Structure 1
Amino acid sequence: MKTLPWLHPDRVALLLDALRERILVIDGAMGTMIQRHDLQEADYRGERFAGGFDSAHATPGAAPDGHDLKGNNDLLLLTRPDIIADIHTAYLEAGADLVETNTFNATAVSQADYRLEHLVRELNVEGARIARQCCDAVAVETGRPRFVIGVLGPTSRTASISPDVNDPGFRNTSFDELRATYREAIDGLIDGGADTLMVETIFDTLNAKAALYAIEEAFEARGGRLPVMISGTITDASGRTLSGQTAEAFYASVAHGRPLSVGLNCALGAKDLRPHVETLATVADAYVSAHPNAGLPNAFGGYDETPEEMAEVLQEFARAGLLNLVGGCCGTSPDHIRAIADAVSGVAPRALPASLEQAA
């Protein structure tokens, strides 16, 4: 793997300085906040798709009448960017140092569900651009730099596990297909102004490896790199990812990507995530992050853990020396992030491994 210079050395220097000084705060859930707006099909279509096709690209058959777009939250970057910008700003004002782009499903694999694969690059450019504008505006107001995490989600398919219980050998995607769709998304995120890239909510490590491969391809093509963040998902009480790895095994599988940070998010609440974050804090030659859900979902699919409850648990993580970055996933809001930011304020970040300190 080539050693390439930073694409944005000044901003990377600011980020590394901040990581040395304190625990940085990542934002909370995007989907939870979007749900509060009770958006309807017309909101997702906007003017651009109101006529049953993509009028901006004159693409008949793209999102035709009768093919619902409701639920495609990434599409709101084009049809309701005001909502996405307001959510980013609310998290920044609550104390977030880093906000994640609204691009969790902005890959061709996932957008194929809506027949909008042709929008992948545009969605990622706009996702990073909108987040960049919000970060820069709040940074000017507060005098504190804020950073854009370019999000690469897991996609709606898995390269390691068959979706057909009757055919264990069947796969509905491939490494090369995933690599190609991730590459398109990565180029868009970089062009839109992302400060870092995060491969997150990883339930299948092979998917993540395809993303990491595409990231290195993109960096080599540009002659420079951005910091890479990696966040896996422990799916249940077994303490393993969906593809069967413990936290330690997961880290060993992705360490070749030379991540700035490695962590865990989603699926579990903070209490259940603690032993697995502790494992990463012990073995990882990288910064450690955690952005858990607001507890486990209730019978109605909602999340009941209050900001105060969640902040108390994560404060213990911080005082135990486990964290460098912390935030929230499903069910969290700006109130959760404000409480978490207050709870970890003044707590020293996890001590950096000597090898990483020298490299940084």
Structure 2
Amino acid sequence: MNDIRDILKQRILIIDGAMGTMIQQYKLSEADYRGERFKDWPSDVKGNNDLLSITQPQIITEIHKQYLAAGADIIETNTFSSTTIAQADYDMQSLAYELNVAAAQCAKEAVKQSGKQAWVAGAMGPLNKTLSLSPDVNNPGFRAVTFDQVVAAYYEQVKGLSDGGVDILLVETIFDTLNAKAAIYAIKQFYHDHPQLQPAEIMISGTITDASGRTLSGQTLEAFYTSVMHAKPLSIGLNCALGAKEMRSHIEELSQMASCYVSAYPNAGLPNAMGEYDETPDETAHFLEEWAERRFVNIVGGCCGTTPDHIKHIADSVKRLQPRVLPVVEKELV
């Protein structure tokens, strides 16, 4: 396989679209989520999409194949919530490692069946507990989790994804940078503990939550960038929360400051009153084509509400356009 950094110098790469949106189309029941193995599990598991990598691997593999056929160069594993902390909602903490291995194997199998060159990115979601914010409005100093606990959760996820064979580790949908720094620390510690392994490339993708241009934990885009660049990632970017129209100015700002490649995978617009996404593939592709024409991006794709049709339109719209050129950096931060 060609080195992804070499390919990024030549063209804009395509990352896939929403996993959850595609899973919803299967209209799975509680029994479908449980499968035979978990038919007697004591708590409800419907909605635990990550579990499907074990109980319905053929569905997850098929979704990956649809995105690959649509033009995706990078596919994300079905592991957004595959940590001990997030899986506690379903009393499935003990499955965290297995979920990551299984999801990585689904993605790798899809690439194999597709016959095309593509990279598997191990998705590391933001967790359902934050290190920067208190869940108790009456006790702002309280934290529901410690830094060491977050590191341990991410470390186990990295181990599972690595054992499953991912090419990239994608720390994504970051709304609390301290959580992301714990994830980065866990990645670095894992490879320090396993020097025989070739470290996976790191992609980092944050979330600007509203027109303020800040993350949920209050950082400006520049502050967020400065906080995570010590990881020396392959790319930094934005995803989720906003549609492409609302994300544009932030991507332009990021493209002007980033010393690495820039990624962007927005939602299919903003959700309507029913929580659904109405932006058509043509509309999403039009926005991302304009970003590409202005040399803002190196990796583009979709988040919530996007489908293989969105990804196909995006891929077709940017394939003739040149990628953003990395700036010459005189002195890197140490």
Q: Which amino acid aligns with 1:167?
A: N
Aligned partner of 2:187 in structure 1 is 215
Q: Cα RMSD over matched residues?
A: 1.2
Is residue 245 of structure 1 aligned with residue 234 of structure 2? no
How much does 1:135 deviate? 1.2
Is residue 20 of structure 1 aligned with residue 2 of structure 2? no
Is residue 98 of structure 1 aligned with residue 98 of structure 2? no
177-186 or 220-229, which deviates more: 220-229
Aligned partner of 1:6 in structure 2 is none
Q: 1:296 aligns with which of 270, 276, 282?
A: 270
For 2:194 and 2:9, the matched residues in 1 are separated by 28
Aligned partner of 1:68 in structure 2 is 44
Encode CA deviations 1:69-128: one digit per residue, 9 max, x unaligned: 000000001101111011000000000001000000000000000000000110001111
Please give the residue correspondences for 1:153-192 in structure 2 after superposition, counting only pairs within 5 Å.
153-192=125-164
Aligned partner of 2:23 in structure 1 is 34
Q: 1:225 aligns with which of 167, 181, 199?
A: 199
For 2:112 and 2:249, the matched residues in 1 are separated by 36
Secondary structure (helix, strand or coil) at the match of 1:231 reads strand
Encode CA deviations 1:300-358: one digit per residue, 9 max, x unaligned: 000000000000010000001000000000000000000000010110000112349x9
Which portions of structure 1, spanning 4 or more consecutive aligned residues, are displaced by more than 3 angstroms?
none
Please give the residue correspondences for 1:270-281 in structure 2 after superposition, counting only pairs within 5 Å.
270-281=244-255
Aligned partner of 2:110 in structure 1 is 134
Secondary structure (helix, strand or coil) at the match of 1:354 reads coil
In 2, are the aligned partners of 1:14 and 1:145 still within 8 Å (CA)?
no
TM-score (structure 1 length as normaliser): 0.90
TM-score (structure 2 length as normaliser): 0.97
Secondary structure (helix, strand or coil) at the match of 2:204 reads strand
Aligned partner of 1:109 in structure 2 is 85
Q: Which runs of 5+ in 2 are unaligned?
A: none
For 1:110 and 1:348, the matched residues in 2 are separated by 39
For 2:276 and 2:40, the matched residues in 1 are separated by 34
How much does 1:146 deviate? 0.5
Is residue 282 of structure 1 aligned with residue 256 of structure 2? yes
How much does 1:279 deviate? 1.2
Aligned partner of 1:319 in structure 2 is 293
For 2:222 and 2:316, the matched residues in 1 are separated by 30
For 1:192 and 1:111, the matched residues in 2 are separated by 19
In 2, are the aligned partners of 1:136 and 1:146 still within 8 Å (CA)?
no
Structure 1 136/16 Cα, relative in aligned 2: closer, same or farther at 3 Å?
A: farther
